[in-house]
Amino acid sequence: MQTEIQNKGIKNPANLFVLNMLVVYLLWKAFSYYQKHTHGFVHIKWQKIIVFLGGVYAAITSFILNIFGEYTLHNGFEVFYPTQNKIIRIEDHCLALPATVIFVGTILLFKGDWRNKLWFIPLGILLIVIINLVRLVFVCETFVYFTKEFFEINHSVIYVIITYALIFLLIVWWMKKFAG
């Protein structure tokens, strides 16, 4: 009976997981709102980071597409398909920043040895970047070769589910192996 009561409280791993993710998500949303509506130092620096990351993602995405036989160019945060005369922009919401922040913040809030966090967090970020690059390659291809509806469902739903499923699995792995 005592165990049942303890498992229903805030220390229950499932409840703690949801609470941690909610706290991190709300902090991210507050930061996002602040930087978008202040237009001061934080906004200017953040926009420079976004443009830089968008450019990096566009360059790598174009490089991967070219390896697989596409002819693409990148300019800033755009991937250009010259033969189809189509451009896709890697906007701030395509950079997986909220996903990365949620992952890092959640791991930081969980119990566990800091030495494990020092390798697990970079590993998780690397996996998020890789899955996001794969997502961007498929987003570009669906944008160019498929209908707008097919592009929208993949861009807005399918690829997002895959990315957050990876993050969920990483956090569950942390909880089972290292958060003891």
User: What is each CA distance from 16 to 5, 9, 91, in whole angstroms?
Assistant: 15, 9, 32
> Residue 163's closest CA among 141, 115, 130, 137?
130
Q: Give residue-wise pLDDT tens across range 30-78.
A: 888 887 778 777 778 888 888 999 999 999 999 999 999 999 999 999 9
Give yes or no for residue 3 having a pLDDT over 70: no
> Residue 49's closest CA among 100, 124, 86?
100
- Sequence length of the chain is 180
Spatial separation of the C-alpha atoms in residues 155 and 94, rounded to whole Å: 9
Provide the whole-model pTM.
Answer: 0.83
What is the chain's Cα-based Rg? Answer: 19
